[in-house]
């Protein structure tokens, strides 16, 4: 009986404990820490930090032998002409994932092709560079190579397709417009 009375005297209500300075300080620090953590997570998420971390684990698209789509294949290319197939409306879920890039060097091509995408305001630094594709090779679903110039939004970009002969010598180029849509940071 006396033990129960002693336990009751030692038990304090939550409100009484909060009146003690050390407990009050701890509660305030916990509240402030939780608020700071919530703000930090929100800020990092809005900047795309977590997409960036995930992007480090996603490899670039691999060059494959073959064609993107068998129908409507280019079967003949006049001497000296550069021809290729590509997706001109490219979508990325975010800056760090693979997007719907589809590039193809036709089997009948006489050149190796290299594709680079540029923003019109900066044509010295490409936002995308493909590996050099030999005739009959394609690349599907690749990542951007420069993410610093872009944010969420739509971009009309210049695609420069450079041709190289079997010795690796530059033979000419062709340009077109591709549209890139980035859905999230």
Q: What is the pLDDT of residues 146-182, one digit of tens each?
A: 777 788 999 999 999 999 999 999 999 999 999 999 9
Tokens encoding 34: 């939780």
pLDDT band at 100 (very low <50, low <70, confident <90, very high): very high
50-61 mean pLDDT: 64
The rounded distance, in Å, linking the Cα atoms of 72 and 20 is: 80
The helices-and-strands tally (H runs, E runs) of the chain is: 4, 9
pLDDT band at 87 (very low <50, low <70, confident <90, very high): very high
Closest CA to 100 of 70, 68, 124: 68
Q: Is the entire prediction scored with pTM above 0.75?
A: no
Tokens encoding 9: 């005297």
Tokens encoding 35: 């608020």
State yes or no: pLDDT of 43 exceeds 90: no
Tokens encoding 65: 């032998």
Q: What is the pLDDT of residues 4-30, one digit of tens each?
A: 555 554 566 666 666 677 766 777 788
Question: Between the CA of residue 23 and those of 9, 16, 34, 51, 127, what are the distances in Å?
Answer: 19, 10, 16, 39, 54
DSSP assignments along 6-20, one per residue = HHHHH---HHHHHTS
pLDDT band at 94 (very low <50, low <70, confident <90, very high): confident
Higher pLDDT, 115 or 50: 115
What residue ranges do the domains of the chain occupy? 2-46, 62-182
Contact 52, 95 (CB under 8 A): yes
Q: What is the pLDDT of residues 108-155, one digit of tens each?
A: 999 999 999 999 988 889 999 999 999 999 999 999 987 777 889 999
Beta strands in the chain, from DSSP E residues, in sequence order: 63-65, 85-86, 89-92, 102-105, 112-118, 128-129, 137-140, 153-164, 170-182
The rounded distance, in Å, linking the Cα atoms of 141 and 86 is: 12
Contact 113, 133 (CB under 8 A): yes
Determine the 3-state secondary structure of 3 from DSSP: helix
- Class at the top of the CATH hierarchy for domain 62-182: mainly beta
């Amino acid at each position: 009986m006396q033990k129960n009375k002693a336990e009751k005297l030692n038990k304090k209500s939550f409100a009484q404990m909060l009146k003690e300075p050390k407990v009050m300080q701890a509660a305030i620090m916990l509240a402030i820490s939780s608020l700071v953590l919530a703000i930090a997570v929100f800020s990092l998420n809005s900047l795309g930090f977590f997409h960036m971390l995930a992007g480090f684990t996603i490899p670039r698209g691999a060059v494959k032998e073959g064609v993107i789509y068998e129908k409507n294949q280019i079967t003949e290319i006049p001497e000296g002409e550069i021809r290729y197939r590509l997706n001109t409306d490219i979508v990325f879920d975010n800056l760090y994932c693979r997007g719907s890039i589809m590039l193809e060097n036709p089997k009948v091509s006489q050149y190796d092709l290299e594709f680079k995408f540029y923003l019109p305001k900066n044509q010295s630094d490409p936002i995308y560079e493909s590996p050099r594709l030999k005739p009959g090779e394609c690349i599907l679903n690749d990542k951007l190579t420069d993410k610093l110039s872009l944010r969420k939004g739509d971009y009309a970009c210049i695609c420069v397709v450079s041709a190289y002969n079997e010795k690796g010598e530059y033979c000419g180029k062709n340009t077109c417009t591709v549209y890139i849509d980035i859905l999230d940071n």
